[in-house]
Amino acid sequence: MARDETEERDTGESLERLNQNLARMEELSKRLVAALSARKPGDAGLEGPGQELMLKTGMAIWQEALTNPAKLMERQVSYWSQTLTQYMELQKELSQGHFALPATEDAPQDKRFSNPLWQTHPFFHTIKTQYMISAEAMRSAVAELDGLSPRDKKKVAFFAGQIIDLFAPTNYLATNPDALEKAVQTDGESLVKGLENLVRDLEARHGEILPVLADPTAFHVGENLATAKGAVVFRNQMFELIQYAATTEKVHQTPLVIFPPWINKFYILDLKPQNSLIQWIVDQGYTLFVVSWKNPDASYAETGFETYIEDGYLKAIDVACAVSGQDQVNAVGYCVAGTTLALTLALKAKRGQARVKSATFFTTLSDFSDQGEFTPFLDSDFVDAIERQVEAEGYLDSHYMSKTFSYLRAKDLVYGPAVRSYMLGEPPPAFDLLFWNGDSTNLPGKMTVQYLRGLCQDNGFSADGFALMGEKLHVSDVRLPICAIACETDHIAAWKDSFLGIVQMGSKDKTFILSESGHIAGIVNPPAKKKYGHWRGPEPIGTPDAWKEAATYHEGSWWPHWEAWLSKRAGKKVPARALGNESYPATDPAPGSYVREIVTG
C-alpha cells in the first residue's frame, strides 16, 4: 500500500508540474504573439531569391520537361523506387518482430541524427531516411538542370540547400527524439524554457527569428575579453588608435599598425591571453598600434572608402609615426580592412608616398572575379535591395550581415542553436568566439554600396581600376614587400581568390602562407596550441593549385614564420617606448570606448 501511495503522490506531483508548465506556456504564448507582431516588413529582395531567378529556374525545368521528358521521368522513377524500397525494408523488419538498420561504414556522419532512435525506432528511422532521399533528389535535380548559367545554377543550389536545411526533421518537435525525450523527462519544463528563450530572442530582435549564439552575460569587453594592456592615444570620428604597452625592454624600431575589419570588432585578435595575437606580437618586441573602428549610425550615411582611407588609414599611420618617432610603419589589414589597406597602398604609390615599409594581408580579397559562396548575395536583386535599405536608413544594420553570415552555415549557426535553445530549452553557451560573432557592427551607406558595386560586382580593383579620390587604383599599384595569409576552408575570403589577388600585386617581394582551418580559426592560431598547420612555398605566381602542389606543409601555427619575416623589415632594437607622447597623450585604457558602443540607429 505504501508503494502505491508513493507512486500516486509522484504521479500527482508530476501532473501538477505539467499543469504549471502549461500555464507558463500560455502566458509566454501571449508575449510570443506580441513579439512577432513587432516585426517590421522588410524589403523582399533581402528575404529570398528574386523573381527573375525563380522565373529562369521555372523556365529551365519546363524546357527540360518538353525537350527531355525521359530524363525527368527517370529521376522521378528513381525517387519513387528509393522511397518504395525504404517502405518494403521497414515492413520486412516489422514483420519479423524487430527493427534494426544494418550499419554501413561509408554512411555520412551527421551529428543531427546522433540519437540511437534515428537508427532503431521505425518512426524516426523512416522520417530520417525519407528526408535523406528527398534531400539528395533535390540536390541532384539542381545539379543536372540544364538551361541555367553556372552563376544562376550556383544560386539555385544555394537556395535549394536552404530549403533542405529548413525541413530537416530535427527542426520540429514531433520528429525530434531528443526534444521529445527531454520534454517527457522534465514534465514539459524544457519546452517552457525553450519558449522563454524564443520569446527572449524575438523581443531582442524585434520579431526576427535568429537564435542568440552565446550567453550575453558571460563576457564583458575589457574585463574577461580584450584585456591586453594599452591606451588610446588618438580618437576621431572614424576610429580610436590603441597603443599597447611594451612587455620587453627593447622593441623593434619600426612600429606595427593593425587595421581590423569594421564589419566586426577588433577584439577577435585579443579574446583572451592564451590566444591573443595582439599580446603575442607585443611579447615578441614590437610597438603595436591597433585601430578600433567607430560603429556607425545614420549620421555616417555619406561615409565611403575615401573617408576610411583619409581619416582612418592615413591618419592612423601618421599618428603611429609621430608617437614612435619613425618615418615608416609596417601595416596589417584583415579581411575588408586588408582590401582597403591595398587600396590605400595603391593610392600612396600614385601619390609617391612611402610611409608604409611592408604590408601583411590576413584573409584579404583584391580580386573578386569569383565570389564563391557569396554569389547569391552579390547579384543585382540582392544588392539592389541593400541599396534601397541604406538609402532609407543611412547605414546597413548589423542584423543583415549577421543573418547573411549565419545562413551561409545554417545547420551550425541557425538550426542547430535553435534546436538546442528553443526545443531542448538549453541556455546559450558561454563561448567567447560566438559572443564576439554576435557583437557585430553597422556599415555606412555609401561605403556599403561602393564595396558591393565597385569591388564585388565590377571587380574594379583588379580589372579596369577602381576610381577613388581622383585616382584610378589598380591592385598592380601595390609594390612594397607583402606577406599574405589565407585560410584553407575560409568561406568568406576563399584562399584561391585571395591568392589570385596577391599574384596581381606589383610587389617584387611576395610571401604567401596558407593556414589550415577557416576565416577566424586559421588566423587566431597561437603556437602554444599546436592545433592547425600551414603551407609555405615558392613565390605566389601562376595558379593556386600549382602553388600548393609545390608548397611544403608545416605543423603548427604560422605566427612564428610571419614574425621572422616581419622582423627583417622592422629595424634594429631600441628601448621600449612609453604609451603616447606630448602631442598624442595616452587617455582611456585599452580597449577604449568605441568597442563598447552598441548602436541601434
Q: Strands 534-536 and 552-554, how do they pair?
A: antiparallel
Bridge partners of residue 484, in order along the sequence? 361, 512
Element (H, E) at 242: strand 239-244
Residue 329 per-residue DSSP state: E
Residue 208 per-residue DSSP state: -
Instruction: Count CA within 13 A, CB hemisphere, residue 569.
Output: 20
- 487 catalytic? Reply is no
DSSP string, 337-358: HHHHHHHHHHHHHHHT---EEE
Q: Strands 329-334 and 356-362, how do they pair?
A: parallel
How far, in Å, CA of 445 to CA of 304, rounded? 8
How far, in Å, CA of 320 to CA of 218, rounded? 34
DSSP string, 11-72: HHHHHHHHHHHHHHHHHHHHHHHHHHHTPPP--GGGTS--HHHHHHHHHHHHHHHHH-HHHH
Q: Strands 471-473 and 329-334, how do they pair?
A: unpaired
Element (H, E) at 514: strand 510-515
How far, in Å, CA of 365 to CA of 156, rounded? 25
Q: Strands 443-444 and 395-396, how do they pair?
A: antiparallel
Q: What helix, strand, coil percent values describe the chain, rounded to 5?
A: 50, 10, 35
Amino acid at 60: A
For residue 420, give the 3-state DSSP assignment: helix
Which set of grid coordinates corresponds to residue 35? 513579439
Which has the closest alpha carbon to 236: 581, 596, 592? 592
Which has the closest alpha carbon to 393: 38, 51, 46, 35? 46
Q: Residue 233 CA to chain centroid, in angstroms?
A: 30
Which has the closest alpha carbon to 209: 178, 166, 156, 180? 166
How far, in Å, CA of 194 to CA of 182, rounded? 11
Query: Taking the CA atoms of the chain, what radius of gyration do you get in angstroms?
Result: 28
Catalytic residue among 321, 335, 483, 487: 335
Which residues, including other chains, have CB under 8 Å from residue 223's CB and lie 6 or more apart?
Answer: none
Which residues, including other chains, have CB under 8 Å from residue 471's CB and lie 6 or more apart?
Answer: 346, 347, 350, 351
Residues acting as catalytic residues: 335
